[in-house]
Structure 1
């Protein structure tokens, strides 16, 4: 077996890359990564230089793959290492470029290192080790993996970092009222009050997917997505072409909802889905309405999970306000291997940080609205 490094995901056929996938998790599909690159949302100019790794047999059959980027900054990752970069640069060293095995702009747990066997997985890690040995990068980072790689990563000297997100779980609910019945009476009243406040403003919701995702629909949605960034004085990460391309190549995975006041769209939210989970990704509004964010991004997503029989709703990173709306704390992980002596210092820091994250995870459960938190 040998290693190939790609300058673009299009250098490997989609059927070969997707042939390594064991489920329909959308973010690591060839079409998703290709849309990021072809749309100009990811590339050298954006500080996300594709450097994907493949392991191939002598007959050129694909045995393993890793979505990998050479990063020139730490934005769009959601596992924050800015302090590590500052410390390394104070020591007179260059922190960038670094290697990042992740899905751009997507803090969503899922498979990362795709391998048919342990040998091919180890070859990928050895290749990264060689990169660090020759000081071609300051370190390597693998974000939001599910854990299949953990034993191999630990054996190769990587260190684990924990984080915490908030996910909603569908406990076999047949309708939204079943979820409400699982909550204490005070929270039930609050949920109903929030939803009634949106309804009283005359706002309705319209879901689109599949063949409904026309160019005109994406033209309607993009200003909402962009507004979230422009309000903070930032440029949107994703271009309009990304959404159009994804709508063409992965319509089965997309769920789009518009909030409408009268005959006008006033907000929109973009979701992806697989056979198990709904993933809330992007939302925006051009006018302010009371409680509209909670309804569009949370309650509408819960109802969509119930309607489609999906077990879990990942509404995005951060947001402690999700706790009191039934989103449970979930530990996430990332793995890191850095140049010495930075690696040793980070490893020591992560031991102490991990204790704090685990304590926070346990404490957060006390804020859940359920009559008896599981």
Structure 2
């Protein structure tokens, strides 16, 4: 850490000026001050959640020149690049894996800048600052998840281990329409998707795209019911509070696309997306009625429609789900950085990640080959 740089920690994002924080970023909606503040103000993170904010800033001459979203974690839930096996091995060896430090956006498996600084050297300083803080605070290590590829390249010189996992993303190859996208698929896959969309849209109602001022409080009441149903089945207890969606309505409705299915004016299913400068991020889905293929229609096909209409370069549809492959979403590398204090354990993790990386490269190659695109049109 340069003598001219001062590292500070902040127990709440509200302590940091929104204009300064956002000015260091790249417009990603999840790393925005308003999104992180919505998580804190709504009680979705903070005391009792296992996500304790400890955001860091770098100052030079009393000016903030770097920042990162940082949390002290007492568990490994809500991360989506998981280290449960590492935690168990660490504790079996007699160590305390928690607390650990997580540089991330809680509950949000979406790639984005984590080291907010315009100067690459300052990003290195942020990584060094987090390890320094971990040592001083007794955390077992630091984990930077869903970072950019450029940030991942900083790992070796900063003492971090890079990790590669994968998600399924859809990429816009300058398509003029959904039919233009379908033309790039094999005949069999093209026919299957057309048939799937027709069956989904025959559910007996209408599908609406809501964003900005078209979003009203009653839409969030409906979506809260959807979210609770999905959350209770997937996680046991939803991560976000009801107040979070009120914060989004007040401060982020222009950043949101809610794809809503209605029958006789009553919402029966919905998919919540966030709109970035060059990408659409699918986040949550839920329903109170089951209809064939409606999940695929709202979450994947309608997202593609919106991305093409807006000229967005890609759709990131969240974690997991090989069923996305048949719908044109291809396996894509996801990056994270990891550092632990115990040198022996760090070496063991390094060996594991080398083997995992080779397996992941092979998996991505095989899945891409199985994709729906015509071979001559393969992205």
TM-score by length of 2: 0.95
Q: CA deviation at 1:180?
A: 1.3
Unaligned 5+ segments in structure 2 are none
Q: Label 1:152 to 1:168 Cα distance change in 2 as closer, same or farther (>3 A).
A: closer
Q: CA deviation at 1:106?
A: 0.6
Partner of 1:223, secondary structure, is helix
Aligned to 2:108: 106
Structure 2 distance, partners of 1:199, 1:87, is 49
Q: Does 1:4 align with 2:20?
A: no
What is the aligned counterpart of 1:32 among 25, 31, 35? Answer: 35
What is the aligned counterpart of 2:56 among 44, 50, 53? Answer: 53
What is the aligned counterpart of 2:214 among 212, 215, 238? Answer: 212
Q: Label 1:126 to 1:180 Cα distance change in 2 as closer, same or farther (>3 A).
A: closer
Q: CA deviation at 1:120?
A: 3.0
What is the aligned counterpart of 2:290 among 288, 291, 297? Answer: 288
1:1-374 alignment runs, 5 A limit: 1-21=5-25, 23-58=26-61, 60-134=62-136, 136-232=138-234, 234-340=236-342, 341-372=344-375, 373-374=378-379
Q: CA deviation at 1:132?
A: 4.0
Structure 1 distance, partners of 2:100, 2:299, is 33
Partner of 2:30, secondary structure, is coil
Q: CA deviation at 1:209?
A: 0.7
Partner of 1:106, secondary structure, is coil
Which 10-residue stretch deviates more, 141-150 or 320-329?
Answer: 141-150
Structure 1 distance, partners of 2:184, 2:70, is 42
Structure 2 distance, partners of 1:131, 1:367, is 45
Which 10-residue stretch deviates more, 323-332 or 229-238?
Answer: 229-238
Q: CA deviation at 1:119?
A: 4.2
Q: Label 1:87 to 1:274 Cα distance change in 2 as closer, same or farther (>3 A).
A: same
Partner of 1:160, secondary structure, is strand
Q: Deviations over 1:269-288 (max 9, x none)?
A: 11001221110000101111
Q: CA deviation at 1:232?
A: 4.1
Structure 1 distance, partners of 2:255, 2:128, is 34
Q: CA deviation at 1:344?
A: 1.0
Structure 1 distance, partners of 2:208, 2:154, is 45
Q: Deviations over 1:110-140 (max 9, x none)?
A: 1010123244333322322223444611111
Partner of 1:206, secondary structure, is strand
Structure 1 distance, partners of 2:176, 2:153, is 39
Q: Label 1:179 to 1:241 Cα distance change in 2 as closer, same or farther (>3 A).
A: same
Contact 2:101–2:134 (8 Å) recurs in 1: no
Partner of 1:148, secondary structure, is helix
Structure 2 distance, partners of 1:170, 1:189, is 20
Aligned length: 372
Partner of 1:149, secondary structure, is helix
Q: CA deviation at 1:247?
A: 1.9
TM-score by length of 1: 0.96
Structure 1 distance, partners of 2:73, 2:374, is 46
Structure 2 distance, partners of 1:298, 1:74, is 28
Q: CA deviation at 1:322?
A: 0.7
Partner of 1:124, secondary structure, is helix
Q: Label 1:315 to 1:130 Cα distance change in 2 as closer, same or farther (>3 A).
A: same
Q: CA deviation at 1:53?
A: 0.4
